[in-house]
A = this chain, B = another copy of it.
Amino acid sequence: MTERTHATYWLETGDDPRRAAEVIAGEQSSGTFLALPNETPELKQRSGARVERLDVIEQVGQPSLPGGIASSVYTRCTLELSWPIENLGPSLPNLMATIAGNLFELRQVSGLRLLDLQLPPSFAAAYPGPAFGVDGTRRLAGVPQGPLIGTIIKPSVGLDPDQTAEQVRQLVDGGIDFIKDDELQADGPHCPFDERVRAVMRVVNDAADRRGRKAMVAFNLTGDLDQMRRRHDLVQSLGGTCVMVSLNSIGLVGLLELRRHASLPIHAHRCGWGYLTRHPALGWDYAPWQQIWRLAGADHLHVNGLRNKFSEADDSVIAAARAVQKPLFSHAPMRAMPVFSSGQTGLQAPGTYEALGNADLIHAAGGGIFGHPGGIGAGVTAFRQAWDAAMSGTALRDHARTHPELRTALEFW
């Protein structure tokens, strides 16, 4: 039996849902708008996408998206399609065109959102997945258990290399596990990548010599391919342990080539994710989206954070993090680490831990660390104490009784 790829959509249509489903299946496989003599029943049987499931959810009076078929009623359904692997082979770029190509533009569609994706095993054989994942990241960061306590260089843009290094110095002296560049900071003339990495790694290596543990710094090397390769090599040659890239900036081929070249974990930023997901009747859920990037080699994937400063609801954040931790294939789990950030402090530790049931994650706070009256070191300590409390099932306030940094932090968080 042939392998098949399955994709599940939330569909809204002004057409008869069964017909709309068949139009979508046709458009994304052997069909065309006109019946052509070449599209024989045999060809359609072999190459056509198949409607596996079509469950009506509800009917509404107004379309979610403009431009579709005019109707007095729009039907919302769950639609599952499947494709034979013979159409596209185990190719991630061609998978994109198949599961997320022209279909969003169809007039039969007044709403379409990709909810789920099940890839056949040949994709696991064709793509590498994360090279480091949870275990490799823990090993390099020297954090055998619990979350990586992290932060982000701020201001996002504007510090020069020496100012950046000075901020890093305070953080590593404070015992931070993980630091990342802002996604807006890559190689601008005011803070060139090479100078920044040299300045920062001097500080990081010096602290590692003194402290016996090296903080992981995700240097944002987003750029053209030769730039990314060269920058990766520089980071590695200076003893760095992580590189960062903006996925929507470089695209799939960019990540695949970086993964092929790299010998460091790849911290994957999702900036731009909003335009792919912010309208609930259009685009992508995080679960299918992150699958593609994990297969291509992302080790860490951003998932926002509980009670974040952006527009994403908590249940969406947790669903995203669970998706990142869910095995891609039973024989090739390719687990990645979810990265929680945006308006985070130790206050979100208990809820995050409770929802996930594990601490295989990076938790990044900015003001929640920098704002501690006892200084950055106390801020890092308090954040870690909050996680210790969460993982031992102790209320933060109880834990704070015997942990003064946490006690102080609870007053300003």
Interface residues of A (CB under 8 A from B): 27-34, 36, 38-39, 43-44, 46-48, 64-68, 85-89, 91-94, 96-98, 100-107, 109, 112, 154-159, 163, 167, 183-184, 186-190, 222-225, 227-228, 246, 248-257, 269, 271-276, 278-284, 304, 309-313, 342-343, 366-367, 370-371
Contact = CB atoms under 8 A, between A and B. Distances in A.
Given A154-B38, A278-B105, A85 B32 contact: no
B158 A278 contact: no
Nearest to A192: B89
A349 to B, nearest CB: 19
Contacts of A155: 30-32, 36, 38-39, 43, 47
Contact of A94 (B167, B187, B273, B276): B187
A167 B304 CA distance: 50
B89 A310 contact: no
A312 to B, nearest CB: 6
15 contacts: A33-B309, A34-B366, A36-B367, A43-B158, A86-B188, A88-B186, A94-B223, A97-B249, A97-B271, A101-B272, A102-B274, A105-B304, A224-B256, A225-B253, A279-B281
A412 to B, nearest CB: 11
B38 A163 contact: yes
A343 B27 CA distance: 13
A29 B184 contact: yes
Contacts of A104: 272-275, 278
A339 B250 CA distance: 25
Contacts of A311: 65-68, 105-107, 109
Contact of A100 (B156, B188, B272): B272
A260 B48 CA distance: 36
A186 B97 CA distance: 10
Contacts of A97: 183-184, 186, 222, 246, 248-249, 269, 271-272
A232 to B, nearest CB: 13
10 smallest CB-CB distances across A and B, nearest first, come from: A251-B251, A104-B274, A253-B254, A67-B311, A47-B158, A101-B271, A34-B367, A105-B274, A93-B249, A43-B158
Nearest to A108: B311
Nearest to A64: B279
Nearest to A2: B189
Contact of A254 (B87, B252, B273): B252
Of A225, A255, A273, chain B has the most CB atoms within 10 Å of the CB of A225
Given A36-B155, A47-B157, A88 B188 contact: yes
Given A44-B158, A88-B184, A253-B257, 17 more contacts: A29-B184, A65-B278, A87-B190, A88-B186, A89-B189, A91-B186, A91-B223, A93-B249, A103-B274, A104-B273, A105-B304, A107-B311, A109-B311, A251-B255, A252-B254, A275-B283, A279-B279
Contacts of A109: 274, 311
Nearest to A309: B33
Contacts of A225: 253, 256-257
Nearest to A187: B89
